């Protein structure tokens, strides 16, 4: 379930930037300085509509490394990130019924957390191990690599305490880099032994924690939240790449059919170049129009009382009959039949035919 996003694509919530800005504010650093070079304001951080790119997040982290007086700032900032920071992704952590499965959920849906590191999880007898590998990026030099690893250690510790209880603690940490100048303080700062110059970055804890019963687990809630996370993953994918830019333009013009020439002009490119880029992403203009109309139609059918005629008009169809034909081509069902489908059958029917 990986979404291949470019480093400049603004598709992620601004939660991780906001967390760093707040952590710097505790040291007296202004939001203006914390956000220098990122092209967003402090007020933007409080809007759920704000989206940032990986490059903007890295720029913010670079500012933090330069401005903070705390040599372990990244770890301490990570400790201030809680499950509430991640919306539905975090809520799923709290409502899971089995900690073993919760760990696998965290890996599968990690793309929702603005990932600047790849994570994996394994159980080795009495050891439970998170492996952390910062993303390959031109801006991720040795200091930024260390920043990302220690930030992720802090985030992992904070989230696992939120889920398993405040007494949760890591057993040991391992990092690939050499001991920094303040290495002698690491056991006290991280509350466990830290091993340097190891093959991988690892966050290790006692596997017995995974066998405990979640205090806030709820099977019905967890199932519902996982479905919402599936929707968020779909929406994330829809915003990625050249196809994502085309979808954005189409979405605000659904009632007024937009030509391919117009889209190319809006994106400041030629139709030939745009067609080639879409082809490289294994899609086409017609396919994007169909997919977008289908997803919006399904949303209207499942979540509103709009009539078929009203939906057809809102999607730019000439009449209801044309919409019905298109909808049956997409799902092999008529609109009213689809509206009455049990929830479990919906996702199996939403790919264009």
Q: Determine contact, residues 339/302, Cβ cutoff 8 Å.
A: yes
Q: What pLDDT is recorded for position 65?
A: 95
At residue 121, the 3 state secondary structure works out as strand
Check residue 353 and give its pLDDT.
41
* The pLDDT of residue 182: 92
Is the distance from CB of 211 to CB of 123 less than 8 angstroms?
Answer: no
Nearest of 142, 78, 68 to residue 113 by alpha carbon = 78
For the chain, which ranges sit under pLDDT 70?
1-6, 235-239, 251-257, 342-353
- Report the pLDDT value the prediction gives residue 28, as an integer from 0 to 100: 96
Cα 30 to chain centroid distance, Å, stands at 27
**Would you say 327 and 299 are in contact if contact means Cβ atoms under 8 Å apart?**
no
The full set of domains in the chain, from first to last, is 12-211 (3.90.1520), 240-349 (1.10.10.60)
Contact predicate 273/325, CB 8 Å: no
Helix, strand, coil percentages in the chain from 3-state DSSP, rounded to 5? 55, 10, 35
pTM beyond 0.85, yes or no = no
Given this model, what pLDDT does residue 341 score? 72
pLDDT of residue 266: 84
CA–CA separation, 100 vs 104, rounded Å? 7
Strands (DSSP E) along the chain, which ranges? 12-13, 51-52, 117-124, 127-134, 172-174, 193-195, 201-206
């Amino acid at each position: 379930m990986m979404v291949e996003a470019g480093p400049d694509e603004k598709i992620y919530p601004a939660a991780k930037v906001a967390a760093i800005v707040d952590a710097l504010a505790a040291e007296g650093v202004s939001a203006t300085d914390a956000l220098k070079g990122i092209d967003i304001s402090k007020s933007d951080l409080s809007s759920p509509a704000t989206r940032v790119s990986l490059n903007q997040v890295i720029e913010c982290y670079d500012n933090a490394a330069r401005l903070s007086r705390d040599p372990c700032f990244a770890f301490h900032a990570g400790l201030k990130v809680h499950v509430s920071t991640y919306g539905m992704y975090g809520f799923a952590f709290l409502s899971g019924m089995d900690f073993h499965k919760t760990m696998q959920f965290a890996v599968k849906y990690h793309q929702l957390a603005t990932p600047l590191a790849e994570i994996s999880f394994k159980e080795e007898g009495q050891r439970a191990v998170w492996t952390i590998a910062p993303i390959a990026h031109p801006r991720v030099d040795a200091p930024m690599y260390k920043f990302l690893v220690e930030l992720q250690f802090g985030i992992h510790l904070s989230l696992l305490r939120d889920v398993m209880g405040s007494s949760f603690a890591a057993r040991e940490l391992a990092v690939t880099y050499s001991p920094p100048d303040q290495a002698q303080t690491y056991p006290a700062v991280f509350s466990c032994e830290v091993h340097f110059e190891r093959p991988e970055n690892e966050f290790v804890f006692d596997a017995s924690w995974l066998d405990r019963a979640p205090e806030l687990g709820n099977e019905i809630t967890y199932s519902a939240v996982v479905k919402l996370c599936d929707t968020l993953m779909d929406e994330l994918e829809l915003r990625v790449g050249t196809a994502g830019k085309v979808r954005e333009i189409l979405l605000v013009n659904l009632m007024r059919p937009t030509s391919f020439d117009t889209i190319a002009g809006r994106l400041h490119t030629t139709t030939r170049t745009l067609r080639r880029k879409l082809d490289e992403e294994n899609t086409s203009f017609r396919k994007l129009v169909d997919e977008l109309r289908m997803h919006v139609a399904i949303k209207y059918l499942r979540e509103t009382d709009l009539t078929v005629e009203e939906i057809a008009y809102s999607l730019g169809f000439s009449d209801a009959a044309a919409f019905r034909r298109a909808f049956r081509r997409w799902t092999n069902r008529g609109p009213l039949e689809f509206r009455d489908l049990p929830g479990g059958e919906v996702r199996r029917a939403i790919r264009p035919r």
